[in-house]
A and B are shown apart, each in its own frame.
Chain A
Amino acid sequence: MTTSRAIEVKDLTKSFKGKTALDRVNFSVDEGEMLVLVGASGSGKSTLLRNINGLQIADRGLVKIFDAPLQDNGKHHSRIRRLRSQIGFIFQQFNLVSRLTVLENVLIGNLAKVSLSRSLFRQFRQWEKTQALAALERVGILEQAYQRASTLSGGQQQRVAIARCLVQGAKIILADEPIASLDPESARKVMELLTQLNREGITVVTSLHQVQMVRQYFPRAIALRDGQVMFDGTVAELNDNKLTSIYGSAVEELVLRGHGDFGVANNLLVKADGERF
């Protein structure tokens, strides 16, 4: 049986005010894969993820989700909302609606299936609430269902965001630095959750700084530099020498940012770069 193609990106190019953010990016992800995007800040990881679900539109190039075009040469496809509803998105800053309850935030995952009139009154059905509560139970924060989202810790908020993806019925989850703002224990929980979901068949694409996490959880990696794909292969191939050859002295920044909690001193990359900091 051939697996179907979940994401296909062709010649995606985007620049902001003359600065290139993505430069002819090409790759594809099969259904059920777990892929990590690595690269220093500003290398184009976020831009790429945001283009895959159409939160941003590129200047040129094509993004297809399950063979349906989502954006093509700088234009949304008319079905973008339908396609987006199959893609869960997890943000570094969680992006929950802080004044709504945890349950309501999870119910937001349902919106693509909710009629306009019910949306206007923020009305949800009993079974939708049951489903949302079940998703919260799954991520382990059922107890907090009726609290405001802003009262939760970062790790809990990120798990609410994952529950929102579950209610969405997402077949693909895009996660943009999902653990960069979390403590190590919360980060581990979030990564385990994503791995579990991947085992159940959800395609996961994550951007990460922490090279240790990359090696622990991901089979395949794409390395970006200045908006170009510099490497696309198994994580095993992406060893320290490879990373140094791609990033040169910038490898330091790649490891440094946002992972102070992960034992920098033991990181192989530091040795590879021959720098102390």
Chain B
Amino acid sequence: MQSENPSDYLSINTNSQRIISAEVSQMLAKEDKRVTTGKIIFLIATVVILVFSYRQSELNFLLLFQRGGNMVEYIKSYFPPDFSYWKTYLEDTLITVSMGIWGTLLAAIAAIPLSVLASENVCPVWIVQPTRRLLDAMRAINEIVFALVFVVAVGLGPFAGVMALFIHTTGALGKLFSEAVEAIEPGQVEGVRATGASKIQEIMFGIIPQVIPLWTSFTLYRFESNVRSASVLGIVGAGGIGVSLYQSFQSFDYGKVCAILIILILATSIIDTISAKLRNWLV
């Protein structure tokens, strides 16, 4: 039952206040303040960055709203999808998936030694740091940029795309793999070392068995995203479905663009589903 007399509350309060020890009230005073100068500065800085980047990106949601009619018209022109070249699109999709497979496979192979060299618990710092910087550089540059470079080097076609995926993915997988290596149980490696095994043997028998499930899972995950990336590499001439996509865009053939996009969505969702099932089964 609720107390009817407000002075009851008061008396409880005064009572409990009497019980509170000096230590408790001192501790209460130590509680972090909700508003501090640091937090205010942080808030102001955040607002400034957001406003600045808003201007830099020329965001204008009003414009989007005003021209909404145009958007509808534009999207309407995508329908109905034009599947008259569906065979070509399927072949191109197969090329795209193949590019994803080889780009990922080569990267996974290259990432194995690189990741070991980039792991602090295996290698000394003067090897770890340069290897990590190399991986950073590979990862920092987008596949499209690498594709442009390789198109110049090996000519138009899917091979340039595979090489572009390979370099970028090596950077990404090398980092992920080395994180797995750094999280291993050192005891198991020590057990191998104590038998008189060499460093390479320690890695082969003590480290790799521990990281294989994670490595495989990372590789499959990268394969999924590489198929997605491969589909746009054609825009710069590096083969695959992207070539047809770009050509249809250029000729304002939006029905064909739509057909290609539908095929792409289907293909990537199928690959994602299969790969996700495999990854679940692995870990």
B residues with CB within 8 A of A: 185, 187-188, 190-198, 200-201, 204-206, 209-210, 212-213
Contact = CB atoms under 8 A, between A and B. Distances in A.
Contacts of B185: 98
Interface string A105-123: 0001101101010011010
Nearest to A99: B209
A97 B187 CA distance: 9
Contacts of A85: 195-196
Interface of A: 53, 55, 81-89, 91, 93-100, 104, 108-109, 111-112, 114, 116, 119-120, 122, 161, 164, 168
A119 B196 contact: no
A123 B169 CA distance: 30
A176 B206 CA distance: 20
Contacts of B192: 97, 108, 111
B187 A81 contact: no
Contact of B194 (A89, A97, A100, A120): A89
6 contacts: A53-B194, A84-B196, A88-B194, A91-B187, A119-B198, A120-B204
Contacts of B191: 89, 91, 94-97, 108, 161, 164
Q: Which 5 A-B pairs have the closest CB atoms?
A: A85-B196, A95-B191, A112-B196, A89-B194, A84-B196
B215 to A, nearest CB: 12
Given A81-B196, A109-B195, 5 more contacts: A83-B196, A87-B196, A97-B206, A111-B198, A161-B191
B196 A55 contact: no
Given A85-B196, A97-B206, A111 B201 contact: yes
Contact of B190 (A55, A120, A122): A55
Contacts of B187: 91, 93, 95
B205 A168 contact: no
A168 B197 CA distance: 11
B204 A81 contact: no
A122 B204 contact: yes
